[in-house]
Amino acid sequence: MLEIVICDLDSGFTDMLETKLKDFYACRDYGVSVRSFADGQSAMRALGEAGPLDLLFLNTKLADMSGFVVADMVQLSPGKKDCRLIFMSSSQEDVFETFFYQPVWFIRKQFVDEELEKALNRLWALDHRKRSILIHEGRSTCYVRIEDIQYFESEGHYLCVKTEKESYRIRGSMIRYEELLRGYYFVHPSKRYLVNCAHVASTSDKILMKDGSEINCSKGKKAEVKRVLERYLEEVQHCL
């Protein structure tokens, strides 16, 4: 269960943000608990009594104090040292003051739809890049880390799961794994392949993997591959 707190004096914005957060994690079968506060004193009292906190959405200006006062309190609390901060503001200039706190993201409230999606996708990828999926190969089963998977290749009623060290031939549909890996920056260069952007070196008429292998890219898929790879580089790669 992910513990999330929102601190913002705009109740309409808070309700909207809470709904978007629950929808994002529900689509990934991940439980969340979201609490909201309009003023800093109420937030600080609650955070002082509660247990660990995973994610804090914090407006730089609250009803009774600067959001940075709450940020100081959270970062100095031993039980909340691993809390991730996402600052929010209607003023773009506030971003410079947030650098000291090393937040995951700074959301401009007027662009919340676009920037919230980027922030959550980054968090999801960073927090879950060590996650594994269960692979059934014949009578054997094993866990394979998502970050180790280079690509899936369709072979009739089977899939080949390729990692740098191993290959697994399993029964299953590409659609199932595409849904399972949503948010992990996998992309379809063709119907036959599902490729992990973390292992892509470059793209042109073909995808060049970091191990030197090549994967064909359909003409109609080039734009999608470029878009997903650029998102991965922008939102994840420079944070690793």
132-239 matches 2-128 in CATH topology: no
pTM over 0.85: no
What does the domain layout of the chain look like in residue ranges? 2-128, 132-239
Sort 152 into a burial class: Cβ within 10 Å, 0-12 / 13-18 / 19+: buried
How high is the pLDDT of residue 234? 74
CA distance 107 to 86: 7
Please state which CATH number belongs to domain 2-128: 3.40.50.2300
Assign domain 132-239 to its CATH superfamily: LytTr DNA-binding domain (2.40.50.1020)
pLDDT averaged per 10 residues in sequence order, the chain, 240 residues: 93 96 86 93 85 91 93 87 91 90 93 91 74 86 92 94 94 88 88 94 92 93 91 68
